Structure 1
Amino acid sequence: MARYLISFDDGGMDHIPTAELPEVGKATHAVAQEAVDAGVFVFGAGLERQQASVVSTDGMVTDGPYPETKEVIGGFVVVDVASREEALAWAARFAASCRCAQEVRELLPDPELDAMLRRADRRR
């Protein structure tokens, strides 16, 4: 299994009339519930539309994103699926429900981090 980030750009849903947003939210939550029921949903969220902060390696905090940034993430879902094709199929479902294009990127596997998370889960 591989994890994929399915995301959309901030502003990707700006074309949707405000009155239709509850319907879009309901449709998107229904797809998320289907992903949960299928056992592939890992995590997802929308991001607040606000200025980000950038923390450098020396701990200095500045306002971001950098001026040359053209697009920032507006929301995302992480799925754990058997193939890229399956991730693309889920992305298509999320794109239809939230009425905006989705970007799909595979997350790098990190067995050490996965082991840390399993140990933390056992302690809960």
Structure 2
Amino acid sequence: MTDGSKPWDAALVRRWLERRHAASRLDQAAADRRGYEARDDFDKAAAEEWVCRALATADCVNDQAAFAAWLKQLVAQEEYPATGLHDDIRFERHVRTYLRGLVKMTKANEGFEKTLRHQ
């Protein structure tokens, strides 16, 4: 998948997923407190949480090619079951956008070292 410049680091990817999951939970709580005008922010954070939760439990994180294949399979899904959302269509759009970003990160093997809360 990559040019071989740096090896796939599954532990780094798992740590990145864990930190993004925690950040998305905080973002959801902040959007919920802001109320009606922050509905899109809430759905966006919920989408990030859904993706991170789905990927954190997957065994394919150990292999870059398998991880990329799993991401593509998730992108191709028609529905992403979740509750407590404001707009299901907007949520699904955010999930696909987030997954596509992860596909690019996985293909390039870059970005997983950025673990700050706000990206």
TM-score by length of 1: 0.30
Structure showing greater radius of gyration is: 1
Greater relative CO (CA pairs within 8 A, separation 6+): 1
More helix by share: 2
